[in-house]
Structure 1
Amino acid sequence: MRTKPKPTRLDRVFARLDREPERPAHISVPTTSRHRIVLLGATLAFYAAIVWAIVITSWLVRLDWQVMFFRPYQQWAEIHAFVDYYVVLGQRGPTAVMVAAWLGWRSWRQHTLRPLLALGVSLLLLNVTVGAAKIGMGRLGPHYATTVGSNEMWLGGDIFPSGHTANAVVTWGILAYLASTPRARRWLSALSAVTSLGVGLSTVYLGTHWLSDVLLGWAAGLLILLALPWFEPLIARSEAWIFDLRDRWRERRTGVVTVPAAPVEAPVLLKPCPVGAEDEAAAREAATAARSPRTTLHPPVYLAPGPHTARAERTPVTPVGSRRPPHTDRVARGAPQTARPLTGG
């Protein structure tokens, strides 16, 4: 007795995704609208203004030093324990795991890989852009500052912009970006903005970041979310490539070739032919049929031509004459019989 192999967990996941291989129609993909482009330009200008204010050691640097000397962690020591836990909402590892778990469940329910791919692209952009800015500007944090009143730039630090703030903006803002309805997108946008701003102020409270670091980190994370629609074609191609790779792997494993469905031909609209042009139209149809021959399906020979009618609608027909086959040696009833010839002697 031959038994079928028991499907693995990965097979069940693929079977779940195969139930609806296309994205649901009610989920809209954000586009590069005019409003988004204007907001992107304004955020980029704000980013450049913060950097320029720190480079020239403006009033923003003096504000950073005043907040540092104020020592908020000593002024409000009773909330120190809560802030230590709250700042975890900006750490990349824990937040990425939590958001990836939620988006993985959404991918399972919606039968698409777009949520997880969008999260991966946003985190990749975050690491590249914020990491490059940190290394390029090399600003020291409050705990490692060397000269009072200086901007502490290009001294080998990695504090500017705030990674906690930028990570909170991206990881929690991606939930608003992938929301299914406009109302959910508005509520999640406000919630992610408040959460990320609270994470940034928590780092200022703990003395690990300057106030200007938080402002720049908030702008850096917002730039990534605003620029994410430009990467939607890449996300769609990556999703199609992953599904194609899955199909080829399954074919090699099971030996069953997946044949794509044949495309449905568009219906041919027949236009009325003017009087006097029947011969020309017939010639064109014959030339078209010669170029692209098609198989014509004929009805079976046992079917009668014409429209089909029900048995109750048919007119009863009574046969005329006898139903028996004719015989030459049989005489009909009532006919005079002829004398048989006598034989014998």
Structure 2
Amino acid sequence: MRTERKLTRLDRVFARLDREPERPAHIDVPRMSRHRVVLFASTLAFYAAIVWAVVITSWLVRFDWQVMFFRPYQQWPEIHAFLDYYVVLGQRGPTAVMIAAWLGWRSWRQHTLRPLLTLGASLLLLNATVGAAKFGMGRLGPHYATNVGSNEMWLGGDIFPSGHTANAVVTWGILAYLASTPWARRWLSALSAVVSLGVGLTTVYLGTHWLSDVVLGWAAGLLILLALPWVEPLIARAEAGIFDLRDAWRNRRRGTVPTPTPAAPAGVPAALAPIGGDPADEQQPVVREPVAASRPPRAPGYLAPGPHLTRSERTPVTPIGSRRPPQTDRVTRGTASPRPVAGG
């Protein structure tokens, strides 16, 4: 009796995804429209303007020092405990886990890996761009500032732009980017804007970032969200590649991978094609013996050709090619023969 193999959890996940391998029709992929290109160029120009204003130590740097001397955490100490927990919404680890759990459920329901792949691509862009800017400009934070009124650039710091703010813009904004309806997109955009704005101002309240760090972090996160439609073709190819690897792994696990067979040369019948693939064998086709159109029926071996005779009635015949000479004086059984008379 054959019993079916018990499905593992991974097999059930793949079976769930196989129910609808195509992306649902009502979920559209954002495209890089002209409006989005204009927003991207404007945000990029704003990003460059903030960096230039800090580099030349303009009024923005002086405003940073004024906010730092104001010390908001001393002006409103009663909200300090709450903001210590609220700022976690901008930390990369906890927020990535929460958003990945939600998008994983979305992937399960929509039978596509696009939400998780989009989150991974956005976090990769965030780490590459914001990390490079942080270490490239090396600005020190308010707690480590040495010269009053200076921009504190290229001194080995890593706070410009604000990573908490940029991470809040990207991780919470990705929910609005992946929304399936215009209504959900509007509400999630407002929610992500409020959360990222609150996280940025919280870092200023706690004294861990300058105000210009927060403004540049907002611009950095927005640039990543606006640039995601350019990454959509790569996400689609990655999803197709993952499903191809999945199918190959399942076929290899079940042992159903077809073995490749050598193809016969063009114009040569399959019966005359070389088996080993040696070119020399192509000159020597296999010649088969022709079968006769008709053969006389052969009598069964267990039937005698004539009437059935008893053993005593059969004529002794010497086999052809036998070395035994014929015996002419041999008497057939059943006949009388004179016996020699013994005597003296």
Alignment TM class, shorter chain as reference: 0.7 to 0.9
Q: CA deviation at 1:257?
A: 5.0
Q: CA deviation at 1:2?
A: 3.1
2:232 counterpart residue number: 232
CA-to-partner distance for each residue in 1:174-215, whole Å, 9 max, x for gaps?
000000011111111111011101000000000000000000
RMSD: 0.9
Q: Number of aligned pairs?
A: 258
Alignment of 1:61-76 (within 5 A): 61-76=61-76
2:153 counterpart residue number: 153
CA–CA distance in structure 2, aligned partners of residues 223 and 230 of structure 1: 12
CA-to-partner distance for each residue in 1:15-73, whole Å, 9 max, x for gaps?
00000000000001100001100000110011001000000000000000000000000
* 1:139 match: secondary structure: coil
CA–CA distance in structure 1, aligned partners of residues 76 and 46 of structure 2: 31
Give the TM-score normalised by the residue count of structure 1. 0.74
Alignment of 1:242-281 (within 5 A): 242-256=242-256
Q: Which runs of 5+ in 1 are unaligned?
A: 259-345
1:183 aligned to 2:183?
Answer: yes
Q: Which runs of 5+ in 2 are unaligned?
A: 259-344
2:57 counterpart residue number: 57
Give the TM-score normalised by the residue count of structure 2. 0.74
* 1:161 match: secondary structure: coil
* 2:152 match: secondary structure: coil
2:294 counterpart residue number: none
CA–CA distance in structure 1, aligned partners of residues 194 and 150 of structure 2: 30
Counterpart residue identity of residue 224, structure 2:
I
1:95 counterpart residue number: 95
CA–CA distance in structure 2, aligned partners of residues 3 and 93 of structure 1: 45
CA-to-partner distance for each residue in 1:267-319, whole Å, 9 max, x for gaps?
xxxxxxxxxxxxxxxxxxxxxxxxxxxxxxxxxxxxxxxxxxxxxxxxxxxxx
Counterpart residue identity of residue 131, structure 2:
G
1:162 aligned to 2:167?
Answer: no
1:2 counterpart residue number: 2
Counterpart residue identity of residue 111, structure 1:
H
CA–CA distance in structure 2, aligned partners of residues 145 and 2 of structure 1: 75
CA–CA distance in structure 2, aligned partners of residues 231 and 225 of structure 1: 10
CA–CA distance in structure 2, aligned partners of residues 194 and 221 of structure 1: 14
Choose 1 or 2 for highest CA Rg: 2
Q: CA deviation at 1:256?
A: 3.1
CA–CA distance in structure 1, aligned partners of residues 16 and 194 of structure 2: 36
Structure 1 consecutive aligned stretches of length 4 or more whose deviation exceeds 3 Å: none
CA–CA distance in structure 2, aligned partners of residues 16 and 195 of structure 1: 34
Q: CA deviation at 1:250?
A: 0.2
